[in-house]
């Protein structure tokens, strides 16, 4: 098998000590089972880390959105409270003007 090249696949076989090493038609070495397992494990780990980062970023965006909505609600509540104060003041002023007008009428009679 030493140096034999498969005519159909173009795969080259070489013995390195007691290990059989296979090379693709383009000359790159096939990975061993342990190398392939390590590569798959590394890719899986990288994918999981990327997924975790994406999930963390999504949670951060949700928190920002929630905080922004809460701030908008507080601002709206404060604006409504100010409107209520202005309205109450206007009603009090109107009542005072009515009372003053009635008092002036009573004084005039």
- Tell me: the pLDDT tens digits for 33-62? 999 999 999 999 999 999 999 999 999 999
Domain count across the chain: 2
Buried b (16+ CB within 10 A) or exposed e, 79-96: eeeeeeeeeeeeeeeeee
Q: Which residues in the chain come in under a pLDDT of 70? A: 1, 109
The predicted model scores a pTM of 0.52
The whole domain housing 96 covers 32-108
Asked if residue 50 and residue 97 are part of one domain, the reply reads yes
> 40 and 22 in one domain?
no
24, 40: one domain: no
Q: What is the dihedral of CA 92, 93, 98, 101, to 10 degrees?
A: 140
Same domain, 48 and 89: yes
Indicate if 50 and 62 belong to the same structural domain: yes
The predicted structure's pLDDT at residue 70: 97
Same domain, 17 and 52: no
Question: Which of 35, 26, 29 lies closest to 14, judged by CA?
Answer: 29
Among 34, 28, 33, 3, residue whose Cα is nearest residue 16: 3
Answer yes or no: do 26 and 36 share one domain: no
**The pLDDT value given to residue 1:** 64
Q: Of 3, 23, 8, which is closest to residue 32 (Cα–Cα)?
A: 23
Phi/psi of residue 46, each to 5°? -65, -40
Q: Are residues 45 and 81 in the same domain?
A: yes
Residue of 52, 53, 29, 24 lying closest to 39 (CA atoms): 29
- Res 66: pLDDT: 96
| 73 and 44 fall within a common domain | yes
Q: Are residues 24 and 49 in the same domain?
A: no
């Amino acid at each position: 098998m030493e140096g034999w090249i498969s005519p159909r696949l173009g795969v080259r076989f070489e013995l390195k000590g007691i290990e059989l090493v296979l090379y693709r038609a383009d000359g790159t070495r096939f990975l061993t089972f342990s190398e392939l397992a390590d590569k798959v494990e590394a890719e899986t780990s990288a994918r999981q880390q990327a997924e975790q980062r994406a999930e963390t970023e999504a949670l951060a965006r949700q928190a920002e959105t929630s905080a922004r909505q809460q701030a908008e609600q507080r601002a709206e509540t404060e604006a409504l409270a100010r409107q209520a104060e202005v309205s109450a003041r206007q009603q009090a002023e109107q009542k005072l003007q009515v009372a003053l007008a009635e008092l002036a009428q009573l004084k005039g009679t």
